[in-house]
């Protein structure tokens, strides 16, 4: 892999987050998935690496034996793309992911997907403490429905993430020809 080749990390793009009645359902899933798919297609067209994260928590709300943990059909890993299952919010709870990220010389990671307030936040914070740099795509990430104002909650989480990672938009990334400033 070339030194500044951007790595796209797709977090928890799983059926669980699209299923009505589930506690982790995403309000604006269609808009988020559209941007995620656009970015994933862009990465694949440029033959850049794509990594998929899959939450497999051992909790009643996220049963790994259920088909709800499966990837959304459009976001399944393709041949040659890596995937990592993580039991805790941080992707680094996957030993394989932690080892892989620790062995990359120059990290240039772009993070998108679901579970902004869990997987994405935890991964960015832990990565920061390991000197791994991330860019989070603000318009291609989502939180589960909360009890309060979902827009304000997402904004607050992104403000916290801004202390540990860069914040970009999908238009900035594609407009920049994929050259991510870290």
Cα Rg for the chain, rounded, in angstroms?
15
In a domain, 39, yes or no: yes
| Kind of pairing between the strands at 109-113 and 82-86 | unpaired
In a domain, 74, yes or no: yes
For 49-76, how does the pLDDT look when each residue is reduced to its tens digit (9 = 90+)?
Answer: 999 999 887 655 555 556 777 888 899 9
Could you tell me what percent of the chain has a pLDDT over 70? 87
pTM beyond 0.85: the answer is yes
Which of 173, 25, 163 lies closest to 111 in space, CA to CA? 173
For 20-43, how does the pLDDT look when each residue is reduced to its tens digit (9 = 90+)?
Answer: 777 677 777 888 999 999 999 999
Least confident of 44-58, 68-82, 167-181: 167-181
CATH number at residue 34: 3.40.50.850
What range defines the domain where residue 153 resides?
Answer: 7-175
In a domain, 40, yes or no: yes
In a domain, 182, yes or no: no
In a domain, 2, yes or no: no
In a domain, 66, yes or no: yes
Domains held by the chain: number: 1
């Amino acid at each position: 892999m070339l030194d500044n080749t951007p790595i796209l990390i797709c977090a928890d793009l799983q059926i669980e987050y699209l299923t009505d009645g589930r506690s982790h359902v995403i309000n604006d899933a269609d808009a988020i998935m559209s941007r995620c798919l656009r970015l994933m297609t862009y990465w694949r067209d440029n033959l850049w690496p794509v990594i998929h994260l899959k939450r497999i928590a051992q909790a009643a709300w996220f049963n790994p034996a259920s088909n709800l943990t499966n990837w959304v059909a459009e976001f399944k890993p393709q041949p040659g793309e890596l995937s990592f299952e993580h039991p805790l919010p941080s992707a680094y709870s996957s030993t394989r992911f932690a080892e892989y990220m620790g062995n990359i010389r120059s990290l240039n990671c772009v993070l998108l997907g679901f579970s902004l307030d869990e997987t994405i936040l935890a991964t960015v914070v832990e990565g920061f403490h390991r000197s791994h740099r991330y860019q989070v795509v603000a318009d291609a990430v989502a939180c589960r429905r909360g009890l309060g104002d979902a827009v304000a909650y997402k904004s607050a989480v992104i403000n916290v993430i801004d202390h540990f990672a860069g914040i970009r938009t999908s238009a900035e990334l594609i407009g920049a020809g994929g050259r991510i400033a870290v």
